[in-house]
Amino acid sequence: MNYEAEIKHFIATELLPDERGAALTDDQALITSGLVDSMGLLQILGFVQQKFGTDLMATGSPMDFDSVGALAAAVRRGRGE
């Protein structure tokens, strides 16, 4: 599964429904750049849990959250892929 695409789609639809979401790359800093705030992070983690069954909040560290790529890698690890 293309976790990167799924996560980007969620962010672009729910959090950044403008050109920033459309232009989002896998490596772009999400939170430290100010694009996504703490509420947004909670929504992303909720989406990831609901869609992929991985509870990143319970197991993850900050390094897992600051880009689409990092989130996707954390999901793969969580799913043992």
Partner 1 sequence: MNTETLVRMIRRGAALDPTKTAVRSSGGELAFAQLVDGAGRIATALAEAGVARGDRVGIWMDKTPACVQAVVGTMMAGAAYVPLDPKAPWRRCQSILADCGVAAVFADGPRLAQLADLLAGLAPRLLVVDGDPGAVGAAPGMATTTLGEVLARPGRELPEPGLDDLAYILYTSGSTGTPKGVVHTHRSGADFVCWVRDTYGITADDVFSSHAPFHFDLSVCDLYVPLGCGATVRLISSLEAMLPPYLVRSVAEWGITVWYSVPSILIAMMETGGLETAGFGQVRILFFAGEVFPAPQLQRLRRALPGVRMANLFGPTETNVCTYYDLPPDVPADRPIPIGKACENLESFVLDDDGREIGVGVEGTLWIKGGNLMSGYWNDPERTALTLKPDPRGGDGVAYCTGDRVRLQPDGDYEFLGRRDHMIKIRGFRIDTGEVEAALAAQPAVLEAVVVAVAGGEAGTRLAASVVPRAGAGVDVNELRAFCADRLPVYMVPELIEVRDALPRTSTGKADRKALQAAWSQEGNA
Residues near partner 1 (CB under 8 A)? 31-34, 37-38, 41-42, 57-63, 65-66
Helix and strand counts by DSSP (H, E) for the chain: 5, 0
CB of 20 to partner 1, least distance (A): 12
Q: Which of 74, 81, 13, 73 is nearest to 43 (CA)?
A: 13
CB of 39 to partner 1, least distance (A): 9
CA distance 64 to 74: 6
CA distance 35 to 76: 24
Q: 58 or 81, CB closer to partner 1? A: 58
Q: 19 or 58, CB closer to partner 1? A: 58
Q: 53 or 62, CB closer to partner 1? A: 62
Contact call for residues 48 and 71 (beta carbons, < 8 A): yes
CB of 2 to partner 1, least distance (A): 25
